[in-house]
């Protein structure tokens, strides 16, 4: 990679870190409702992985998705506005934090049901294979989701069809407060072996290592060698979500992993070491990112909420058979079922 591209990777990781810290503040101020799962500590994975893919490759992820949307090119404005539930968000404020989707970027979200997105991702990969689009699908997931039924269904199907997919485990070693070594019956890599699937262990705190592993897996998929499984070991620096006081994890363990901070590490071991930047350059990147996120917050805050009449838009088939349409408001099917019945006959 040339100097500009390496600096761009660094800037993206800094953007994600600062975006998440500010999103936490906005949550505390009740500007953001619902759940909020932050990506601090895991930045090297989304940034490294996205940099290894083509812009039209498909990406599907879990609810810890802000970093993915930003790395994939959604603007900080659109992502913050989505968290605020505003019309200017990536999906008009209808998805929110856990359901970021940006179709133009082939970014399909953002799924709240643990493991629920794995069969969808496998379907996208099989479709690409069938239609010969040459696209690869990258499906990231948490370590906890590898214990769930859909994980096994998806890996089995992907291997059976030799699908062009990369299963990328963001192994932050915890599913909520439950540690990986007590929630998984076998080491992660054995789960890939169960489906005779090509697998690699990856340092998830090293953006270049993630990029290289995803490059290898994407090349395999494109030349028809089928699915790959990557176990990227990482750590999250905050609680599971904003609702988690993070009391289960050992403080010394958290401190140890903070020493491996992927952003500082990339700055020290690559950018500064190779004289690609000066400490002053890094400071000005930090300042410009802070401004970008500040601007995103102001933009989100000034953006309107979706109009109430649009509440049911995009939910039911339009027009819904036998449903009355009032403006854009379509009544949900449950309303129709409450038709009064007299003496056993429908009114
Ligand atoms: C099917 C299902 N079961 C339980 C939950 C509740 N839940 C939300 S996140 C989570 C932990 C998942 O951990 P992991 O897959 O490691 O992802 P991480 O949060 O670490 O990124 C659980 C159990 C859920 N959302 N969906
Ligand atoms: Mg986890």
- Ligand nearest to the backbone CA of 61: 1
Nearest to 168 by CA among 143, 139, 197: 139
Give the Cβ contact number of residue 59 at 10 Å. 28
pLDDT confidence of residue 340: 59
SS3 state of residue 106: coil
Q: Rounded CA gap, 214 and 17, in Å?
A: 22
For residues 305-317, give the mean pLDDT.
83
* Residues having CB within 6 Å of any atom of ligand 1: 62, 64, 112-114, 142-145, 170, 172, 174-176, 240
Task: Find how far residue 333's CA is from the centre of its chain.
Answer: 32
- Which pLDDT band, with edges at 50, 70 and 90, does 326 fall under? very low
Nearest to 300 by CA among 38, 97, 99: 97
Distance from the alpha carbon of residue 225 to the mean position of ligand 2, in angstroms:
28
Nearest residue by C-alpha to atom 3 in ligand 1? 114
pLDDT confidence of residue 314: 82
The domains located in the chain, with CATH, are 3-306 (3.40.50.970), 310-347 (no CATH)
**From 40, 144, 168, 181, mutation site for ligand 1 pocket: most ligand atoms within 8 A of C-beta:** 144
For residues 7-31, give the mean pLDDT.
98
pLDDT confidence of residue 320: 54
The minimum-distance atom of ligand 1 relative to the CA of 171 is 16
- With a cut of 60, say whether residue 305 has pLDDT above it: yes
pLDDT confidence of residue 346: 55
pLDDT tens per residue, range 157-213: 999 999 999 999 999 999 999 999 999 999 999 999 999 999 999 999 999 999 999
- With a cut of 50, say whether residue 328 has pLDDT above it: no
Nearest residue by C-alpha to atom 7 in ligand 1? 114
pLDDT confidence of residue 317: 63
The minimum-distance atom of ligand 1 relative to the CA of 112 is 25
Q: Rounded CA gap, 47 and 202, in Å?
A: 14
For residues 52-68, give the mean pLDDT.
98
For residues 304-312, give the mean pLDDT.
90
**From 40, 111, 114, mutation site for ligand 1 pocket: most ligand atoms within 8 A of C-beta:** 114
pLDDT confidence of residue 312: 81
Give the Cβ contact number of residue 330 at 10 Å. 20
- Which pLDDT band, with edges at 50, 70 and 90, does 343 fall under? confident
pLDDT confidence of residue 315: 78
Distance from the alpha carbon of residue 174 to the mean position of ligand 1, in angstroms:
9
The values of phi and psi at residue 148, to 5°, are -100, 155
- Ligand nearest to the backbone CA of 147: 1
Nearest to 16 by CA among 54, 42, 48: 42
- With a cut of 80, say whether residue 330 has pLDDT above it: no
* 329-330 vs 325-326, strand pairing mode: antiparallel
Which residues are bridge partners to 329 per DSSP? 326
pLDDT confidence of residue 344: 72
The minimum-distance atom of ligand 1 relative to the CA of 180 is 16
pLDDT confidence of residue 144: 98
Task: Find how far residue 218's CA is from the centre of its chain.
Answer: 18
Distance from the alpha carbon of residue 284 to the mean position of ligand 2, in angstroms:
33
- Ligand nearest to the backbone CA of 114: 1
Nearest residue by C-alpha to atom 11 in ligand 1? 175
Q: Rounded CA gap, 290 and 40, in Å?
A: 16
- With a cut of 50, say whether residue 146 has pLDDT above it: yes
Q: Rounded CA gap, 193 and 172, in Å?
A: 21
For residues 297-307, give the mean pLDDT.
97
Strands (E) located in the chain: 58-62, 107-111, 137-142, 165-171, 174-175, 178-179, 198-203, 228-233, 325-326, 329-330, 341-342, 345-346
- With a cut of 90, say whether residue 316 has pLDDT above it: no
Two structure tokens written together for 26 = 């906005």
* Mean predicted lDDT score pLDDT of the chain: 93
Nearest to 269 by CA among 6, 2, 4: 6
Distance from the alpha carbon of residue 184 to the mean position of ligand 2, in angstroms:
11
Burial string for 179-213 (b: 16+ CB within 10 Å, else e) reads ebeeebeeebeebbeebebbbbebbbbbbbbbbeb
For residues 262-278, give the mean pLDDT.
98
Q: Rounded CA gap, 247 and 57, in Å?
A: 39
Q: Rounded CA gap, 135 and 226, in Å?
A: 12
Would you give the end-to-end CA distance of the chain in angstroms? 72
Nearest to 200 by CA among 185, 186, 212, 183: 212
For residues 146-162, give the mean pLDDT.
96
- Which pLDDT band, with edges at 50, 70 and 90, does 345 fall under? confident
- With a cut of 70, say whether residue 56 has pLDDT above it: yes
Residues in the chain: 347
């Amino acid at each position: 990679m040339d100097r500009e591209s390496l600096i761009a990777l660094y800037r993206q990781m800094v953007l994600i870190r600062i975006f998440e810290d500010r999103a936490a503040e906005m949550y505390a101020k009740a500007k953001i409702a619902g759940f909020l799962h932050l990506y601090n500590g895991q930045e090297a994975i989304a940034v490294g992985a996205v940099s290894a893919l083509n812009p039209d490759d498909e990406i599907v992820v879990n609810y810890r998705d802000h970093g993915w949307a930003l790395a994939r090119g959604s603007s900080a404005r659109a992502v913050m506005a989505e968290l605020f539930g505003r019309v200017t968000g990536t999906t008009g404020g209808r998805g929110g934090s856990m359901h970021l989707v940006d179709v133009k970027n082939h970014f399909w979200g953002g799924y709240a049901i643990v493991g629920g997105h794995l069969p969808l991702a496998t379907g996208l990969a099989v479709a690409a294979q069938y239609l010969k689009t040459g696209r690869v699908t990258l499906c990231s997931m948490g370590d906890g989701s590898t214990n769930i039924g859909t994980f096994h269904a998806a890996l089995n199907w992907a291997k059976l069809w030799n699908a062009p997919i990369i299963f990328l485990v963001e192994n932050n070693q915890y599913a909520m407060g439950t540690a990986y070594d007590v929630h998984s019956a076998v080491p992660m890599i054995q789960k890939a072996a169960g489906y005779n699937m090509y697998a690699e262990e990856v340092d998830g705190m090293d953006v270049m290592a993630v990029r290289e592993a995803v490059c290898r897996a994407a090349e395999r998929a494109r030349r028809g060698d089928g699915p790959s499984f990557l176990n990227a070991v990482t750590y999250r620096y905050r609680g599971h979500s904003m609702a988690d006081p993070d009391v289960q994890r050992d403080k010394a363990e958290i401190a140890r992993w903070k020493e491996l901070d992927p952003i500082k590490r990339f700055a020290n071991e690559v950018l500064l070491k190779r004289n690609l930047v000066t400490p002053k350059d890094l400071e000005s990147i930090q300042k410009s990112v802070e401004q970008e996120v500040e601007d995103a917050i102001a933009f989100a805050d000034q953006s309107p909420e979706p109009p109430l009449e649009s509440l049911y838009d995009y939910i039911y088939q339009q027009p819904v058979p036998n449903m009355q349409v009032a403006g854009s408001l379509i009544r949900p099917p449950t309303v129709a079922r409450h038709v009064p019945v007299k003496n056993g006959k429908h009114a």
